[in-house]
């Protein structure tokens, strides 16, 4: 999470207006989720990966590590979709694999496998689209964009507050975990569970204290909302290269749909 925030500020696309990057990411996300087409999802993954690694210069190692966690959840969900269970003696017509344990049958249906593959590629395309926006755009610029779109101020402040406390949460957890390790707090299973419970309690208490301190500091300065640094309020020129990429991506999607007979 900390790596995401760092690269959002130092990537090669940081000079591109947030509106352009958000438009490309949201359009790609909507196209992938609405069409649910494997070819379109694969093309979106390829385009977003090239933009993230090739243009924004996010290291491949960082990008691949960031993909592991959401893809792990996707694979877990796909396994639940693919596997079917039954106690009936007769198997469905489109079964492609089955295994019997007494009267209990575990089997795979061709239709379920196709649906699971489609969901996996759709989720991957959506994830890469969101990563393109997250890895190339600071949260303060997104806040400015949301304000221009007339999103309620309370919602924007909740987003900023949640984003801020994610880093406080990670920092606090790392410090407490290091302190516990120095005191041999994870030498056995019983000791590890005790240390983990203490870690969670101490972390929540620390976050509540920091939240109260932040609230008091804002009230003392008569501040009723988060202040966006001036550097993120500067107007950025519309980037022609990103506009071309957006146009080419849209035309390529139309071309893929036309080749598949979807238009």
pLDDT of residue 138: 86
The tens digit of pLDDT for each residue in 40-94 reads 999 999 999 999 999 999 999 889 888 888 888 888 888 888 887 777 777 777 7
Q: Which residue has the tokens 């120095």?
A: 182
Range scoring the smallest mean pLDDT among 1-15, 54-68, 108-122: 1-15
pLDDT of residue 25: 94
pLDDT of residue 121: 93
Which residues lie below 8 Å from residue 21, measured CB to CB, with a gap of 6+? 13, 132, 133, 136, 137, 242
Q: What is the DSSP track for 133-184?
A: HHHHS-HHHHHHHHHHTT--HHHHHHHHHHHHHHHHHHHHHHHHHHHHHHTT
The tens digit of pLDDT for each residue in 136-164 reads 988 888 888 888 888 887 788 778 777 77
Is the entire prediction scored with pTM above 0.85? no
Distances (CA, A) of 234 to 9, 15, 132: 15, 11, 22
**Helix or strand run (H / E) with residue 85:** strand 83-86
Structure token digits, residue 212 = 């109260």
Nearest C-alpha neighbor of 119 from the set 81, 64, 67:
81
**Helix or strand run (H / E) with residue 84:** strand 83-86
């Amino acid at each position: 999470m900390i790596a995401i925030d760092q690269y959002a500020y130092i990537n090669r696309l940081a000079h591109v207006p947030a509106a352009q990057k958000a438009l490309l990411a949201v359009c790609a996300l909507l196209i992938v989720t609405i069409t649910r087409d494997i070819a379109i999802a694969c093309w979106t993954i390829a385009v977003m990966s090239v933009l993230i690694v090739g243009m924004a210069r996010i290291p491949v190692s960082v990008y691949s590590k960031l993909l592991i966690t959401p893809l792990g959840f996707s694979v877990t969900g796909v396994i639940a979709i693919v596997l079917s269970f039954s106690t009936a003696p007769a198997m469905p017509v489109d079964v492609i694999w089955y295994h019997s344990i007494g009267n209990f049958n575990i089997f795979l249906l061709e239709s379920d496998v196709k649906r699971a593959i489609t969901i996996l590629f759709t989720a991957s395309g959506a994830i890469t689209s969101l990563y393109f926006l997250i890895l190339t755009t600071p949260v303060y610029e997104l806040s400015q964009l949301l304000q221009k779109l007339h999103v309620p101020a309370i919602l924007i402040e909740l987003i900023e507050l949640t984003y801020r406390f994610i880093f406080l949460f990670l920092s606090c957890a790392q410090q407490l975990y290091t302190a516990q390790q120095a005191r041999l707090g994870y030498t056995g299973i019983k000791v590890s569970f005790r240390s983990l419970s203490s870690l969670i309690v101490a972390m929540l208490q620390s976050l509540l204290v920091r939240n109260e301190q932040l609230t008091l500091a804002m009230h003392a300065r008569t501040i009723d909302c988060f202040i966006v640094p001036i550097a993120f309020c500067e107007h950025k020129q519309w980037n022609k290269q990103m506009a071309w990429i957006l146009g080419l991506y849209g035309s390529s999607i139309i071309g893929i749909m036309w080749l598949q007979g979807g238009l």
